[in-house]
């Protein structure tokens, strides 16, 4: 039998490979994107985008910016739900992925161990020195699912406690810990023995844990749905209650981790050392999905406790070389470009600017956040003219007012934002951690103008509100 050298093997493969050019195919079919999605994918989402005017067709991304098919530049304050912490298409990340593709590495042998996975685990644990082991998965939801299993195996208990307004993923186990009923409706029975308690309520947590049947308390250090921030002592006291009752404390840092809040992990703001820390989103660099569970050795060894149970839990693609390289490159960029520090600095500036707006504008009732995870909450105004317009929107659909802020920001100022949850009155900023003073000027100027316009009733903003109310009524009526 004749064996090819790696070089010969690669040349043979190149000669036989089809002439596939995704960039050319993208350019050829880009104008059909919404029709193709309506036909083959989620038509309801296409309808939503068209209804709110977000069907501009983005064709390029670079750093904190997006570009539509007409060449207009947008400032991205959504960052793919927090995925693009280091910005889109970072050259260091791309180089890392290309290096893997060109190295002929023995990826996913399965009956072997992965060097890139060991390196990434080592570097993640350096940021959580009280933890010892890492389990890799493909997403945040998979990390939550793994944590559920680990907690039950380690404690011998079934019970799980989570908070109202929480979000931990949409697979069935993670969905059982979701604090928003709209995500659960229609999907049948979920995990038994799950309990919801109010966020930032120690008495409720004490009552839930007192029966000593709870395996784990799952909590986001700062809740993504609403950007809800706990009292300064809540997480530390919650961790103490977990220790008292033999319950594991699980910090879901899938959105808050890797510098988002001005610390590498949000729990650092509160001096807490959870039993399990969950990460995903930003760790991917935006290109290759990856999730991870960081945990204590004794918990890990309760799961993988014998050789015949060495693969009792796993994920086929969880330690693939591209995902591990993406994670390694992301950590390198965060450190080299001091993005944790930038998040803290830019966040402090923006929070100060928004708090000044809250003093000037009655529709702004609260501003909260840490680092570059910021929520601007709107509420019922005092003046009669504005109150009447507000109540009209709220009667049709709670939370609709925020679209009167986000849509003009998008259409008039080229700023992409999001509402912080279903039926929510909070606009959330979750930009790449790479934003600079130019971008902060852009954000402050745009929000100030749109919020000022919203105080002019009747006006263009409230005309938009009537249109949106009409769309919402049609949707309700089917």
User: How many residues does this entry show for the chain?
Assistant: 478
370 in active site: no
Q: Which segments of the chain have a pLDDT < 70? A: 1-18, 457-462, 465-478
Residues with Cβ within 8 Å of 324's Cβ and at least 6 positions away in sequence, in order, are 114, 116, 117, 119, 120, 136, 290
- One-character DSSP codes across 251-306: EE-TTTTTTTTSSSSGGGGGT---SEEEE-GGGGTTTS--EEEEE-HHHHHHHS-S
> One of 76, 200, 252, 275 is an active-site residue; which one?
252
The Cα–Cα gap between 77 and 111 comes to 42
Residue found by looking up tokens 């986001």 in the block: 220
Burial 130-151 (b: 16+ CB within 10 A, else e): ebbbbbbbbbbbbbbbbbbbbb
Residue found by looking up tokens 């745009």 in the block: 446
The Cα–Cα gap between 159 and 213 comes to 6
> One of 133, 225, 281, 370 is an active-site residue; which one?
281
Which token pair is 425?
């009155």
Residues with Cβ within 8 Å of 33's Cβ and at least 6 positions away in sequence, in order, are 57
The Cα–Cα gap between 158 and 173 comes to 12
Residues with Cβ within 8 Å of 77's Cβ and at least 6 positions away in sequence, in order, are 415, 416, 417, 418, 429, 430, 431, 443
Helices H / strands E in the chain, number of each? 19, 15
Which token pair is 180?
């928003």
CA end-to-end span of the chain = 67
For residue 471, how many C-alpha atoms fall within 13 Å in the half-sphere facing its CB? 15
Residues with Cβ within 8 Å of 174's Cβ and at least 6 positions away in sequence, in order, are 141, 144, 145, 148, 168
> One of 84, 167, 300, 447 is an active-site residue; which one?
167
- Looking at residue 421, its pLDDT comes to 80
- Looking at residue 2, its pLDDT comes to 46
167 in active site: yes
Q: Provide the 3-class DSSP secondary structure of residue 389.
A: helix
Separation of CA 275 from chain center:
21
For residue 68, how many C-alpha atoms fall within 13 Å in the half-sphere facing its CB? 16
410 in active site: no
Peptide bond into 458 cis (omega under 30): yes
For residue 167, how many C-alpha atoms fall within 13 Å in the half-sphere facing its CB? 19
- Looking at residue 401, its pLDDT comes to 84
State the burial class of residue 314 (Cβ atoms within 10 Å of its Cβ: 0-12, 13-18, 19+): middle
- Looking at residue 386, its pLDDT comes to 86
453 CB neighbour count, 10 Å cutoff? 17
- Looking at residue 202, its pLDDT comes to 98
């Amino acid at each position: 039998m004749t064996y090819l050298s790696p070089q010969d093997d690669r040349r043979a493969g190149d000669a036989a490979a089809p002439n596939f050019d995704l960039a050319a195919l993208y350019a050829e079919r880009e104008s059909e994107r919404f029709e193709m999605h309506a036909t083959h994918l989620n038509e309801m989402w296409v309808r939503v985008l068209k209804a709110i005017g977000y069907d501009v067709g983005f064709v390029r991304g670079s750093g904190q910016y997006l570009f539509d098919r007409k060449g207009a530049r947008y400032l991205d304050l959504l960052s793919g739900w927090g995925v693009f912490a280091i910005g889109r298409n970072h050259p260091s990340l791309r180089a890392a992925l290309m290096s893997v593709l060109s190295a002929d590495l023995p990826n996913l042998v399965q009956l072997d161990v992965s060097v890139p996975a060991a390196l990434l685990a080592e570097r993640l644990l350096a940021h959580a020195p009280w933890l010892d082991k890492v389990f890799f998965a493909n997403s945040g939801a998979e990390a939550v699912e793994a944590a559920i299993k680990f907690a039950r195996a380690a404690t011998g208990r079934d019970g799980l406690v989570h908070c109202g307004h929480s979000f931990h993923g949409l697979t069935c186990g993670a969905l059982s810990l979701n604090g928003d009923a709209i995500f659960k409706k229609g999907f049948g029975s979920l995990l038994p023995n799950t309990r919801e308690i109010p966020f930032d309520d120690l008495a409720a947590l004490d009552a839930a844990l007192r029966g000593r049947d709870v395996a784990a308390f799952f909590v986001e250090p700062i809740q993504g749905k609403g950007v809800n921030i706990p009292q300064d002592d809540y997480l530390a006291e919650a961790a103490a209650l977990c220790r008292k009752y033999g319950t594991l404390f699980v910090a879901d840092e899938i959105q808050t981790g890797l510098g988002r809040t001005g610390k590498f992990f949000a729990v650092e703001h509160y001096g807490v050392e959870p039993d399990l820390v969950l990460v995903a989103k930003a760790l991917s660099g935006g290109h290759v999905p990856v999730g991870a569970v960081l945990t204590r050795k004794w918990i890990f060894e309760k799961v993988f406790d014998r050789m015949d149970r060495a693969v009792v839990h796993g994920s086929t693609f969880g330690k693939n070389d591209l995902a591990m390289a993406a994670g390694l490159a992301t950590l390198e960029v965060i450190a080299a470009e001091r993005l944790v520090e930038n998040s803290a600095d830019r966040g402090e500036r923006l929070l100060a600017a928004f708090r000044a707006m809250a003093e000037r504008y009655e529709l702004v009732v609260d501003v909260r956040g840490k680092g570059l995870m910021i929520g601007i909450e709107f509420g019922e105004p005092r003046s009669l003219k504005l109150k009447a317009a507000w109540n009209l929107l709220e009667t049709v659909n709670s939370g609709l007012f925020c679209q009167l802020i986000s849509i003009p920001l998008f259409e008039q100022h080229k700023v992409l934002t999001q509402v912080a949850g279903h039926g929510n009155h909070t606009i959330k900023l979750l930009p790449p951690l790479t934003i600079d003073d130019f971008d902060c000027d852009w954000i402050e100027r745009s929000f100030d103008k749109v919020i000022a316009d919203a105080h002019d009733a009747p006006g263009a903003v409230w005309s938009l509100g009537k249109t949106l109310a009409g769309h919402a009524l049609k949707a309700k009526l089917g």
